Amino acid sequence: MGAISNEEIECIENIIEFNKPSNCLEIGVASGWSSGQILKSLQKFTPESTLVGIDFLDYCYWDRTIPVGKYVHSLDYYYKEKYSLFTEHHILSVKEHLENHFEPFDFLFIDANHKHPFPCVDLLFCLSILKETKAIVVLHDINLPFINPQFPSHGVNHLFYELKDCMKFESVSNEFKKSNLGVLFFDFDIYSKQEVAAQLENIIKKFPIEAELSQEYIDRINRRDYGIK
Ligand SMILES: C[S@@+](CC[C@H](N)C(=O)[O-])C[C@H]1O[C@@H](n2cnc3c(N)ncnc32)[C@H](O)[C@@H]1O
């Protein structure tokens, strides 16, 4: 739990170098450290690309005096120009706006609420705003409860290891001798978004709930209202 490490930054940079995503989305921004690293990689390898950040809070969870995204706002104008930040939002509250005002995303970084079923739900409600053909989803803290038992949140672990409808890669950390960053490569021509959504529903049901969803999320999941074409 916390900001991404140097090894993880290198892994994200490699993914960006080889895949050159054009529209990136990040859920879980905090200080903006990871946002800044993503933006730096975009500038290096695909300088027209943009990043949108979403965070539930408008301050850093460890210090109320630090505004969310502060690190990006300390960078050059170039980075700020390529960056849009939505604070005090979660995916459901901002999804319609993203649908109407942004191009579909081909790179998604999820590092938000790690308790089951939040990571699955974040991805479920992002499916409709991902590109129709291919998208890369990077997950932080896939082995959090095993690396850091004081944070027994299994949501990212369940999502990464249970999902079958994609290719996967995990980055092993020298420090922990275990991976904590997982990458999912979706090809929706092979497994459709509907199939991925059905798998996510199964993973949500399979494991004990660690954090309650709001009624809005529950109602939309019950109606299977994900906005997928
Ligand atoms: C671990 S921090 C992110 C660290 C950041 N990615 C980095 O590496 O610098 C998790 C962040 O997710 C936010 N968060 C938690 N639940 C969320 C949700 N459902 N939607 C959006 N943001 C959420 C928290 O407010 C917190 O700022």
CB atoms within 10 A of CB 1: 15
Say how many Å lie between the CA of residue 190 and the centre of ligand 1.
31
Inside any domain, residue 117: no
CA atoms within 13 A of residue 76's CA, in its CB half-sphere: 5
Mutational pocket test of ligand 1: of 26, 57, 107, 138, the residue with most ligand atoms within 8 Å of the beta carbon: 57
Inside any domain, residue 67: no
Residues 134 and 209 in one domain: no
Q: How confident is the model at residue 136 (pLDDT cuts 50, 70, 90)?
A: very high
Residues 11 and 97 in one domain: yes
Inside any domain, residue 185: no
Residues 13 and 97 in one domain: yes
Residues 164 and 227 in one domain: yes
Residues 18 and 42 in one domain: yes
Residues 229 and 206 in one domain: yes
Sign of CA dihedral 12, 149, 164, 169: positive
Inside any domain, residue 64: no
Segments forming the whole domain that contains residue 17: 1-28+35-47+93-103+129-138
Inside any domain, residue 157: yes
**What is the spatial distance between Cα 29 and Cα 41, in angstroms, rounded to a whole number?**
16
Q: Is the CB of 31 inside a 6 Å radius of any atom of ligand 1?
A: yes
Residues 162 and 223 in one domain: yes
Mutational pocket test of ligand 1: of 93, 107, 113, the residue with most ligand atoms within 8 Å of the beta carbon: 113
The pLDDT value recorded for residue 175 is: 74
Of the two residues 222 and 3, the one the predictor is more confident about is 222
Q: How confident is the model at residue 22 (pLDDT cuts 50, 70, 90)?
A: very high
Q: How confident is the model at residue 190 (pLDDT cuts 50, 70, 90)?
A: very high
Say how many Å lie between the CA of residue 31 and the centre of ligand 1.
9
Check whether 96 has a pLDDT greater than 70: yes
Residues 203 and 166 in one domain: yes
Residues 224 and 163 in one domain: yes
Say how many Å lie between the CA of residue 207 and the centre of ligand 1.
22
The pLDDT value recorded for residue 178 is: 86
In this prediction the pTM is 0.97
Inside any domain, residue 224: yes
Inside any domain, residue 187: no
Of the two residues 176 and 225, the one the predictor is more confident about is 225
The amino acid sitting at 6 is N
Q: How confident is the model at residue 107 (pLDDT cuts 50, 70, 90)?
A: very high
Q: How confident is the model at residue 1 (pLDDT cuts 50, 70, 90)?
A: low
Q: Total structural domains in the chain? A: 2
Inside any domain, residue 116: no
Q: Is the CB of 71 inside a 6 Å radius of any atom of ligand 1?
A: no
User: Which candidate, 196, 200, 166, 170, places its Cα nearest to that of 183?
Assistant: 170
Residues 99 and 19 in one domain: yes
